[in-house]
Homo-oligomer: A and B are copies of this chain.
Amino acid sequence: MSRHRFFVPPDSIVENRVSMGPELVHRLRNVLRLGPGDSIVLLDGSGLEYTVRLDSLRRHEGEGTVLGRSPCPNEPNLRIVLYQALLKGDSLELVLQKCTELGIYAFAPLISERCVARRPSANRLQRWSSIVLEAAQQSRRAVLPPIQEAVSFTEGCSMAPHPAFILWEGETATSLKRALSAAAIREAGEVGLFVGPEGGFTLEEIERATASGIVPVTMGNRILRAETAGLIAATAVLYEAGDLGH
């Protein structure tokens, strides 16, 4: 049976005792109609899955008992950090939702020269977090990808793990496929992927990235929208690494 899954703050689980807050209790009791004796899966973001029996669900708090804990087999071995430039309107929401389903490890919003979108408001950040949370629960992940604070392109370049790749429509020689092969991606623990805004990266940005050891790559002749490119590139990376079934 596939049980309902919820992320909880790490301190909700102390040894075998679980305490649950009002939102989760509401969801369990009023939305899913669960009660004492039913069991669910809780995730503390560490990569472990906790099978939990519900003991009591009062109005504002609930309690449960950990019946078992095991490492979740659903996380990719390769950790992809997506350095995604801010996008217009709600486009970043699609990126966050789909890339979380796919298995991205962390999101690093990037403010690059041609970004039209502004730094996200607190409201928007909260909305982004709940999109990632919902997608992570639904796709049965055990790690909740963090959305890091938005950084400048230069900061992004200096923070990025290696190997790292930057999608650039001006690149004609090196495909992502060749670059992944050259980087022996199956042996890499972590990889950075840089994706530009609607207007793309500037030549200066590409030069700066290259100077930081980030490799400009192409994914062929068709022009992908800014909101699509990261998902397609991340799929290729996980596929190559054997993390979409091996």
B74 touches A221 (CB 8 A): yes
Q: How far is the CB of A105 from chain B (nearest CB, A)?
A: 13
In the complex, what residue of chain B is closest to A103 when comparing beta carbons? B222
Interface of chain A residues 144 through 190 with chain B (CB within 8 A): 175-178
A140 touches B246 (CB 8 A): no
A246 touches B103 (CB 8 A): no
Per-position 1/0 for A56-70, Cβ under 8 A of B: 000000000000000
- Binding stretch for chain B, among A20-28, A31-39, A84-92, A225-233: A225-233
**Contact partner of A246 among B175, B231, B244, CB < 8 A?**
B175
The CA-CA distance from A222 to B139 in the complex, in Å, is 5
A224 touches B139 (CB 8 A): yes
Q: How far is the CB of A221 from chain B (nearest CB, A)?
A: 4
The CA-CA distance from A221 to B74 in the complex, in Å, is 5
A235 in contact (CB, < 8 A): yes
Identical chains in the assembly: 2
A138 in contact (CB, < 8 A): yes
- Binding stretch for chain B, among A106-114, A121-129, A201-209, A212-220: A212-220
B102 touches A223 (CB 8 A): no
User: Please, which residues of chain B bring their CB within 8 A of the CB of A245?
Assistant: 175-178, 217-220
A240 in contact (CB, < 8 A): yes
A239 touches B140 (CB 8 A): no
Question: Taking each of A140, A176, A223, A242, which has the highest tally of chain B beta carbons within 10 Å of its own beta carbon?
Answer: A223
In the complex, what residue of chain B is closest to A245 when comparing beta carbons? B175
A119 in contact (CB, < 8 A): no
A141 in contact (CB, < 8 A): yes
Contact residues of A with B, CB < 8 Å?
Answer: 73-74, 98, 101-103, 138-141, 175-178, 217-225, 228, 231-232, 235-236, 239-240, 242-246
11 A-B pairs with C-beta separation under 8 A: A74-B221, A101-B224, A139-B223, A141-B222, A178-B245, A178-B246, A220-B244, A232-B244, A235-B235, A235-B239, A239-B240
